[in-house]
Structure 1
């Protein structure tokens, strides 16, 4: 029954994608996790008490229920070759295609999450998307600084879709250049087996120190061998990229993504050198 339910969810996602007039992304990968997976509680303890477990997020939408058998659906949509190629040519500002996709692509992800929630509700389940809820907030973590009360990338990690790299990007089987989303539902779904032991298993730098490509690609010098400086990154995006995108492309976005292309993990899991 659980695998059948997984197939139902995947079919809903594929139906939505097939009905789109324009392909903003390549085909997605989908993962599942149990709402009571211990890693969700670990995130709450590690990031901050403000961080939602799946049950806490779910109860913001269905506060009168007592459901504890929850599942989390996570999906990752890889950027197209055209979008990645356009950004690869840049070394200071993002390409027009990349910036435009940040806006149109996020609308696509949001609409998919709404569609998935609606379809699951019609099947008799209670579903919600944490990042679309009115109580979703950007917060400050004592340990990590800028954070939020739900992370799509961390959810994808728990749902078996990938691990983190030196730049904090999520490296998946379709690479690091992507956007992702998630939905929580009181549906019995088979969790995706995590094929990694560590949260940085797919990163060449953390495995054997052989790669520093994302360091070289970052125009803000926000990535070093010490990791990703979120303050430098965010400052560059807001103070440099947003004004540029507004004036050059008439696009109100601060998306950069230069470290997601021209790197071994751009379109897949890099092969580890011995």
Structure 2
């Protein structure tokens, strides 16, 4: 079994730097993360630990963010076994079940089967749950769909299961792209999966855009989404705390979007808008 070292990173301000830090840490050998209130816990095989590598990462030289950390070697445990022990199925309104292959199937529900390499988009986070909850009532039949910041591609997979004609899934993280490909195959759906950002988008128009990211990235990217939407297209957003909603709606209104539905789970919100 592989020995791991846990790094506890404190990040100020937290967003969007937590996601940027995770993306850069992957480049030097970190392979799993847990998001915390003030930062992230990041895990790396102990034999790959080299603090000098931090100097090669752009984020540690960026004056707009302050990062501090401590670290400790973790007990010699079976990480796959630990993940399986702690990952329980996610039930969305008794209609959709997000589960791993080792969980018991439930024929009475639609099932999305995933095996995440990292802790993004498993469905446990309230925002993923909110997105699926909104998607239950949306019409995906023969629609062209974009899942921006796809993570494990739970949302892209579900869009395809609900009848979407064509689904493009994009993420900035290489692990997420590889994991998305594996999960698409696992669920017998065909997705177009790309590594990148909104810069990947060209002249394609989408009927539905799904974006479960965070406030700052959404504010920056919403104008690009709108350019890539048809008249009558829908934009479903989450990754938002309740206090972010006013700022997001201001940008959406400026871009000619109208709010169709808002849902909240704990302190998190999702917004469904129409062009």
Higher strand share: 2
TM-based fold match above 0.5:
no
Q: What range describes the TM-score normalised by the shorter chain of this pair?
A: under 0.3
Query: TM-score, normalised to structure 2's length?
Result: 0.26
RCO (CA 8 Å, sep 6+): is it higher in 1 or 2? 1
